[in-house]
Amino acid sequence: MMSRLAPVALLAALLAAAVPVGAKQDPAVTEDYVFGVIVGRDDRKPIPDADAKRIQDLHMAHIRAMAEAGALVSAGPTDDPAGKIRGFFIFKTTMAEAARLANSDPTVTNNRNTIELYAWTAPKGIGEPYRKWAAENPGQNPTMVSRPVAFWRDGKTQPGASDTAGRRQRDAFTLPLFSSGKLISAGPFLGNGPLRGIYVFDCGPDEARTLAAQDPEVQSGRLQLDWLMWYSAERTFK
């Protein structure tokens, strides 16, 4: 089910990450986040370079303020072939506070973007290695790395949520990838939105595509994958 908190599109969802996809979440190793997808508005129009720079500078200042307050643990732009998804936020706060912060982003208030928010259960400590590094290296800019991301969408056969057998097959598929470190996040979105889930890889894009193609539900046609690259701080996850 999808609801909207204008101008932010607010999606009630659950994303299980870096743990077996079909497994019960363990509070000893996971915690709740809010995952934000920054989407360019359909009515976005060209603006003068000076205005674009002003908005971008305000956007970056907003990111720094959210990070300093401890509400934002990761942020970065994307390279989306379709040109719609412009970046991601990972919040460590409540959904209501994440919505307030997202609504306050200058790219939203200036009618450039909307931000979709997903409730997300993921491993503890996302962003902590970077926060420690930043405290030890004040004033230094982080090294940004690119990570392949694949969103799941309904395929041409057997659309809809995975059944128990499908989840078990995916666990068997993902566990070795998590162990190898090549897959660092994966899990479903709940609800009726067009996105069913996500893979985040920590390897080259060609290798990521090869690995994801072995997903039993991709092979069966239940799911298809939309790919993009996400740029985030090197120490976001480890």
pLDDT of residue 28: 56
Token match 């506070």: residue? 97
Task: Tell me whether domains 2-144 and 147-233 share a fold.
Answer: yes
For 15, residues 6+ apart whose C-beta sits below 8 A from its C-beta are 35, 118, 119, 120, 121, 122, 185, 187, 188, 189, 197, 198
pLDDT of residue 220: 87
Q: Render each residue's pLDDT in the chain as its tens digit; 238 residues.
A: 333 343 444 333 333 333 444 444 454 577 888 889 999 999 999 999 999 999 999 999 999 999 999 999 999 999 998 889 999 999 999 999 999 999 999 999 999 999 998 887 777 888 999 999 999 999 888 899 999 999 888 887 765 545 667 667 877 888 899 889 999 887 777 656 677 778 889 999 999 999 999 999 899 888 899 999 999 999 998 7
First to last CA, the chain: 33
pLDDT of residue 9: 40
Task: Report the amino acid identity of residue 6.
Answer: A
Element (H, E) at 170: helix 164-180
The CATH number given to 147-233 is 3.30.70.1060
Which residues lie across from 147 on neighbouring strands?
230
HSE value, Cβ hemisphere, 13 Å, CA-based, for 188:
20
Domain boundaries, the chain: 2-144, 147-233
Phi first, then psi, for residue 101 (nearest 5°) are -65, -40
For 213: left if phi > 0, alpha if psi spans -120 to 50, otherwise beta; the answer is: alpha
Which residues lie across from 224 on neighbouring strands?
153
Q: How many CB atoms are closer than 10 A to CB 233?
A: 21
- What is the domain class of 2-144 according to CATH? alpha beta
pLDDT of residue 186: 76
pLDDT of residue 20: 41
CB 3 within 8 A of CB 186: no
CB 86 within 8 A of CB 113: yes
